[in-house]
Amino acid sequence: MKIVVLDGYTLNPGDLSWEGLRKYGEVTVYDRTPADKVAERISDAEAVFTNKTPITRETLEACKSIKYIGVLATGYNIVDVGAARERNIPVCNVPTYGTAAVSQFAIALLLEMCHHVGEHSQTVKAGDWSNSQDWCYWNYPLVELDGKTMGIIGFGRIGQATGRLAQAFGMKVLAYDEHPNHELESETLKYVTLNELLEKSDVISLHCPLFPSTEGIINKDNIAKMKDGAMLINTSRGPLVVEQDLADALNSGKLAGAAVDVVSAEPIKPDNPLLTAKNCIITPHIAWAPKESRKRLMDTTVDNLEKFMNGNSVNVVNQ
């Protein structure tokens, strides 16, 4: 079997191994593939793996030998799954690898907004503490989480893991999900409507998929319902947020802070309004990327291919 990985660098910049795939055929790994080179590079491939490189209907029509498409991620909107289904090509993703990593990162962003650890460290190294008249100082309000409320929009695996971490800090959790599991409810966790979550949360963390119903769910109207001084975290999908509306809320002081690991167009465009917004932390889509998490992704990718080869495909998103 000829196997082609179109954009392997982000998954494996050199600290993992592709040997698991090589058990099943001849493997060619490209760090990155421009859109105009996709069809050429997979023209005679039978198994194709992609992370963010699009595989379109036109590509599938031009590449007749493809029998399997593996997505090196959970989201699979970069593949025309309908066109693949028409050709009986299974598209398999990796749904659970990043739960611990992403929930941990969401809390890391929250703690940074509460304490500005990085910036305070920089001021110390710049000499501010050495030159201080007092034995300590802080340049931002410091926030204690105990007793505050976190609202989590999207209460699947990652949302639930984030909720458990928030509860460990003494926070109450309000959850909004289209498919609530009321068995999870407790004294410190309950499902509520979206409006109630917006109105009562001190911190809102986004963990929902990007669907037409969730696109732009953080907009000026919903921000207006939020508490003055609330904080927002997005480690899910950039288009969940209307970025100009969020920037306006930060610049006006309606929201005390925001921390986003994802934006509407990636890499981020130089004119993105969040780049110049007040009290906004932006990280380059790295919540998923600890080595441990990427190793799970790699292992599941290999397992998905093995199951397909044995006639028992799993994690198929276009059945």
Q: What pLDDT is attached to residue 32?
A: 98
Selecting among 19, 119, 178, 266, the annotated active-site residue is: 266
Q: What are phi and psi of 54, to 5 degrees?
A: -65, 140
**DSSP 8-class letter at 35:** G
Average pLDDT over residues 33-44: 97
Q: What pLDDT is attached to residue 155?
A: 98
**Chain segment 180-209, per-residue pLDDT in tens:** 999 999 999 999 999 999 999 999 999 999
Q: What pLDDT is attached to residue 285?
A: 98
**Count of residues in the chain:** 319
Average pLDDT over residues 225-231: 98
Cβ partners under 8 Å of residue 142, min gap 6 = 114, 115
Cβ count within 10 A of residue 76: 21
Q: What are phi and psi of 305, to 5 degrees?
A: -65, -40
Specify whether the CB–CB gap between 281 and 54 falls below 8 A.
no
Enter the tokens of residue 46. 């039978």
pTM of the entire predicted model: 0.94
285 belongs to the catalytic site: yes
Q: How confident is the model at residue 236 (pLDDT cuts 50, 70, 90)?
A: very high
Selecting among 41, 207, 285, 296, the annotated active-site residue is: 285
Q: How confident is the model at residue 117 (pLDDT cuts 50, 70, 90)?
A: very high
Selecting among 41, 116, 207, 237, the annotated active-site residue is: 237
Average pLDDT over residues 266-280: 98
Q: What are phi and psi of 40, to 5 degrees?
A: -65, -40
Average pLDDT over residues 120-125: 98
Q: What pLDDT is attached to residue 165?
A: 98
Average per-residue pLDDT in the chain?
97
Beta-bridge mates of residue 29:
5
Specify whether the CB–CB gap between 70 and 219 falls below 8 A.
no
Q: What pLDDT is attached to residue 252?
A: 98
Beta-bridge mates of residue 70:
49, 92
266 belongs to the catalytic site: yes
Specify whether the CB–CB gap between 235 and 287 falls below 8 A.
yes
Q: What angle do CA 188, 142, 171 make, to 5 degrees?
A: 5
Quick one: CA torsion of 252, 258, 263, 267, rounded to 10 degrees? 100
Specify whether the CB–CB gap between 253 and 283 falls below 8 A.
no
19 belongs to the catalytic site: no
Q: What pLDDT is attached to residue 226?
A: 98
Identify the structural domains of the chain with CATH numbers, from first to last: 2-97+291-309 (3.40.50.720), 99-282 (3.40.50.720)
